[in-house]
Amino acid sequence: MRQPVGTWLNGIVDDQSSSPPAIEFDGVTYRHPNGPLVLDDFSLAIGRGDTLALVGRSGMGKTTILKLINRLLLPNSGLVKVEGRTTSSWDAIHLRRRIGYVLQEVGLFPHMSIARNVAVVPHLEGWPQEQITRRVDELLNLVGLDPAVFRSRYPRELSGGQRQRVGVARALAVDPPILLMDEPFGSLDPLTRAEMHQEFHRIQSQVRKTIVCVTHDMGEAFALGTKLGVLAKGRLAALAPPAEIIHSDDPEVKVFLDALPKVEIRENTKQTK
Amino acid sequence: MTPQPPASSPQPLSSIFMRLIEFWLNHGSEFLSAILRHLALVAASVGVAVVIGVPLGVLAYRRPRLGSPLIGLANVVQTIPSLAMFGFLIPIPLIGGLGAKAALIVLILYALLPVMRTTVSGLKGIDPSIREAGLAMGMTDWQLLSQVELPLARPAILAGVRVATVVGVGTATIAGVIGAGGLGEYILRGLSSVDSIVILAGAVPAAVLALIADFALGWLEKWSEPGRQRNRRLQTGAVVLAGIAALALLIGGLLWSERSQGRIVVGSKNFTEQVILGEIMAQLIERSTSLKVQRRLNLGDTLVCETAMRAGDLDLYVEYTGTALTAIFKQPVILNSDEVKARVAASYAATGRTMLPPLGFNNTYVILVRGDDARRLGLRTISDVAKYTPGWRVGFGAAFLDREDGYRGLVSAYGLRFAETPRAMDLSLTYLALAERQVDVISGDATNGLIAKLDLFALEDDRHYFPPYHAVPVIRTETLNRHPELKIIFDRLAGVITNQEMQQMNYEADVERRDVSAIARGFFERHPQSHQPITSPQ
Ligand SMILES: Nc1ncnc2c1ncn2[C@@H]1O[C@H](COP(=O)(O)OP(=O)(O)O)[C@@H](O)[C@H]1O
Ligand SMILES: [Mg+2]
């Protein structure tokens, strides 16, 4: 696989009816080894080009869902399918290189410069050096970090918010068709966050990716999601476009909507799960 | 049987320092090569330990079921005293024996644990989210290891290398007992001749080397911390290649330096008389034949020489008949010296060795009195002193007092009584104590260099209480058959060295601090007939 993933994407037509959903959960049960039952008969379908904003209380299994998608975890029962194939039938390496992942803990490599961090996947894909350099500068600009300043810095020389943006740049590096984002803008100030939302929409209008974005900010969920999923007690309490969610009379969703501000405060202070 | 010189009196530090410098200057090139050899031993062993230990550490981390027993094994190895470890290895074929190869094996075994352990702890210390990020980016196992895990564990691994190196510098000094060379050789030489200057000549540079290694590797550890800008890709590849090439060169050089193909390996135990005799035999072969000799002098004790010889790592060394009979062949003490010789010769013959003709002297225990007392009282034999001893004070070495065939047997054999219970003294002090009239009778070694110099008199053992300890060269029969000319030259040495001459040579080494090879040259000047070149019968 020497071909950058992005070129493959350009041929895609946004046609949801004839092709399978980009991501599909079908009756998935997942229990952490020696841990709680996180997902119980969980089903979900995300169409190509959709952005699912996933909200839910801390510990509800949002991160677990993302890890099931890129095969960091495999389900105990049920099927997780990506582009119509179960994740267990995918070659894990191949699958993960098609899926950009912004980790909740960011997880930058502390021994690599910012440029090298962003270039991790292009390197693995064997891109030529000039192309990598060009792409890194492009991505740093995209996430609002001046390449001249940040290129050769190391992660510990960055603030939390700057690191988070590098994490986003790293996930976008080979222009993957699927993007998983785990509270990607959590530690950004409101102004920068608004800028990032704009960038997000700009990217989406150019090349429509299938995105799952976990957030605890209801405003963010409404701003980014074409679909909004509310996770409660191992199942989806609701999955609908934002406009419909507001009018939902599902008790779980209502309770969640009411309780959300308090949860948000608690999650904000906790930083990680 | 160890001849002991007098203990040196306390000296001011500055004079010790001056003598140390003098020693180094006098032994310039030898000293330098000892340091280099020491460094080579440590560098090669730590290098191999890294090459083996890091992958084992990775294995232990990734597959704890396989790895934990490995770490446990390395832990057990670590608890074996190094001296014992060198001893264990001598009789083991291929990896064991004498010299650098066996030393490397031991040093590698000791270096493995710190390297393995720090590799595991370095890997375990990595933030799980960083590893998860690597996996999520689609890294393969190997990519994760080489691009993320090992670079992050590197400072920890280097800390392990640092420990292994510092410990290795110390352990390598002990490798001297199996003739591996290096600075340990000075320490052993100094210990065997009770010369603190020679001990320091090896110990001080070893300590300095350890400090330098500690400092240099500490600096490297800092320098390699994550987040420093370097051209990692080029560098890692180049460093690994250069490191492996250097390692191969080092090990090759070390092993090549002591190839013994076609050489006669001459050994000795670790005390002065033995080293002199080893050197005399080596020079005898070099002067009289065209054979090449490899010296492995100053090895450990009787057991080391015996095991090495049985393993084929040693061709020739001098043993004492009484020691061979009791210590090697575990037979009861026999007093008749011809019978002892016959039995020892037969036992050697049955185990693939040949006992060559005795050198002449008998390094047995002797009872010593002052020369003037002997002359004044007309003392000649031990029986003669029996009537004086009730008024005399005695000084015996602790070993002599303890042994069944030592003090107790002596007293009952001759019916001796003393003014007071004998004092256990340091053997090296008894000769001086006798000369200075603090005691009146002592036990000693027949060939000690101080006997003549302090005008002491060895009483004849007229009741033949002490077993004989005649010095006999012992050679592997296989070697003798391959080089029959050795038989001829050792026949010429038969009976040539008297007790007086051995005393004299011990004195030259222990008191005058003369070089062993010069002492051996002096011996051949006194005995020109015993080293005529012979025409090789081959
Ligand atoms: N490695 C693990 N081992 C055991 N339990 C885990 C592990 N990771 C997460 N969990 C548990 O699984 C549940 C879901 O976790 P997670 O998916 O991280 O929740 P969220 O991202 O929604 O906060 C939580 O109760 C958490 O404690
Ligand atoms: Mg989470």
Placement of tokens 């699958």 in the chain? A95
What per-residue confidence (pLDDT) applies to B428?
66
The whole-angstrom distance between A99's CA and the closest CA on chain B is: 8
Q: What is the pLDDT at residue B64?
A: 86
Contact between chains at B138 and A72 (C-beta distance less than 8 A): no
- Residue numbers in B near A72 (CB within 8 A): 132, 135-136
Looking at residues B515-526, what average pLDDT do you find? 93
Q: Phi and psi dihedrals of B5, rounded to 5?
A: -80, 170
Q: Which of A96, A106, A156 lies at the smallest CB-CB distance from B137?
A: A96
Ligand at shortest distance from the CA of A62: 1
Distance CA B297, CA B317 (A): 9
The ligand minimizing its distance to the Cα of A60 is 1
Cα dihedral B310, B313, B315, B320 sign: negative
**Ligand 1 centroid – CA A61 distance (Å):** 6
pLDDT at position B4: 45
CA A62 – ligand 2 centroid, Å: 6
B315-338 pLDDT per residue, tens: 999 999 998 998 899 888 888 889
Residues of B in contact with A106 (CB under 8 A): 129, 133
Residue B400, pLDDT score: 78
Q: Verify whether the Cβ–Cβ distance A110 to B152 is below 8 Å.
A: yes
Ordered by where they begin, the domains of chain B are 13-257 (1.10.3720.10), 263-362+469-531 (3.40.190.10), 365-459 (3.40.190.120)
- Ligand 1 atom 2 nearest Cα: A32
* Contact check, Cβ <8 Å, A111/B140: no
Q: Return the best residue to mutate from A25, A28, A32, A37 for the ligand 1 pocket (most ligand atoms within 8 A of CB).
A: A32
SS3 A186: coil
Which residues form the pocket of ligand 1, taking CB atoms under 6 Å from any ligand atom? Answer: A 32, 35-36, 38, 56, 58-64, 273
Name the band, by pLDDT with cuts 50, 70 and 90, for residue B259: low
- For residue B430, how far is its CA from the centre of ligand 2 (angstroms)? 82
Q: What is the pLDDT of residue A270?
A: 44
Say yes or no for a CB contact (<8 Å) between A107 and B152: no
Q: Which of B127, B132, B227 sits opposite A156 (nearest CB)?
A: B227
Most confident of the following: A190-194, A206-210, B110-114, B256-260: B110-114
- Indicate which residue's Cα is closest to atom 27 of ligand 1: A59
Note the ipTM here: 0.86
Asked if B326 and B406 touch (Cβ cutoff 8 Å), the reply is: no
Q: Which H or E run contains B395?
A: strand B394-397
Instruction: Kindly report which listed range (B87-96, B124-133, B274-283) carries the lowest average pLDDT score.
Output: B87-96
Cβ of residue B378 closer than 8 Å to a chain A Cβ = no
> What stretches of chain A adopt beta strand conformation (E)?
23-31, 37-46, 51-56, 77-82, 85-86, 99-102, 178-182, 210-214, 227-232, 235-240
Task: Give the helix/strand (H/E) hosting B394.
Answer: strand B394-397
Q: Which of A30, A31, A54, A60 to probe ligand 1 with, by most ligand atoms within 8 A of CB?
A: A60
CA distance B95 to B107: 12
B136 with A109: Cβ contact below 8 A: no
Strands (E), B219-333: 263-267, 292-296, 316-320
DSSP annotation of A104 reads T
3-state secondary structure of A138: helix
Residue pLDDT, tens place only, B387-434? 888 888 888 877 778 766 778 888 888 888 887 777 777 766 788 889
Please identify among residues 227-256 of chain B the ones whose CB lies closer than 8 Å to any CB of chain A: 227, 229
Q: How many whole angstroms from A164 Cα to the centroid of ligand 1?
A: 21
User: Across the A/B interface, how many CB contacts are shorter than 8 Å?
Assistant: 67
Closest-lying ligand 1 atom to the alpha carbon of residue A61: 17
> Which of B148, B153, B125 has the alpha carbon at shortest distance from B224?
B153
Nearest CA in chain A to B224: A111
pLDDT digits (tens, 9 = 90+) for B142-180: 999 999 999 999 999 999 999 999 999 999 998 888 878
Judged by DSSP in three states, B32 sits in helix
Residues in chain A closer than 8 A to B230 (CB atoms): none
Q: Tell me if B138 and A96 make a contact (CB, 8 A cut-off).
A: yes
> Which helix (H) or strand (E) covers residue B387, if one does?
none
Average pLDDT for B229-244: 67
Over range B219-245, report the average pLDDT.
69
User: Given B130, B138, B152, which is nearest A121 (Cβ)?
Assistant: B138
CA distance A59 to A62: 7
User: What confidence category does residue B66 fall into, taking pLDDT thresholds of 50, 70 and 90?
Assistant: confident
Nearest CB among B129, B137, B227 relative to A121 is that of: B137
- The closest CB to that of A107, out of B130, B143, B151, belongs to B130
pLDDT over 90 (residue B191):
no
Least confident of B33-37, B79-83, B260-264, B281-285: B260-264
Q: How confident is the model at residue B11 (pLDDT cuts 50, 70, 90)?
A: low
pLDDT at site B8: 47
> Chain B within 8 Å of A170 (Cβ-Cβ)?
yes
Residues, CB-to-ion distance under 5 Å, ligand 2: A 63, 104, 273
Confidence of residue B5 (pLDDT cuts 50, 70, 90): very low
**pTM score of the predicted model:** 0.76
Distance A63 CA to ligand 1 centre (A): 7
Confidence of residue B253 (pLDDT cuts 50, 70, 90): confident
Residue B7's pLDDT band, with cuts at 50, 70 and 90, is: very low
Of A95, A101, A111, nearest to B151 by CB-CB distance is A111
Sign of CA dihedral B109, B114, B117, B120: negative
Mean pLDDT confidence for B452-477: 91
Phi-psi region of B349 (alpha: psi -120 to 50; beta: other; left: phi over 0): alpha
A68 near B CB under 8 A: no
- Measure in Å the smallest separation between the Cα of A156 and chain B Cα atoms: 8
Q: Distance between CA atoms of B57 and B45, rounded to whole angstroms? A: 17
Q: Give the pLDDT confidence score for residue B233 in this predicted structure.
A: 52
Note whether A176 and A98 are within 8 A (CB).
yes
B477 in reach of chain A (CB within 8 A): no
For range B234-247, the mean pLDDT: 77
- CA B437 to ligand 1 center in whole angstroms: 88
Q: Which residue has the higher pLDDT, A3 or B477?
A: B477
- List phi, psi (to 5°) of B353: -120, 160
Nearest CA to ligand 1 atom 13: A59
Task: Looking at the CA of residue A65, tell me the nearest atom of ligand 1.
Answer: 17
Residue B136 in contact with partner chain A when CB distance is under 8 A = yes
B360: DSSP letter? B
pLDDT of residue B6: 46
Instruction: Give chain A's residues under pLDDT 70.
Output: 1-18, 255-256, 258-273
Calpha distance A43→A25 (Å, rounded):
5
B331/B366 Cα distance (integer angstroms):
22
Average of pLDDT values for B183-211?
Answer: 85
Q: Give the span between the Cα atoms of B281 and B293, in whole angstroms.
A: 10
Q: Using DSSP, state whether B473 is helix, strand or coil.
A: strand
Phi/psi of residue A59, nearest 5 degrees: 85, 5
* Alpha-carbon distance A230 to nearest alpha carbon in chain B (angstroms): 25
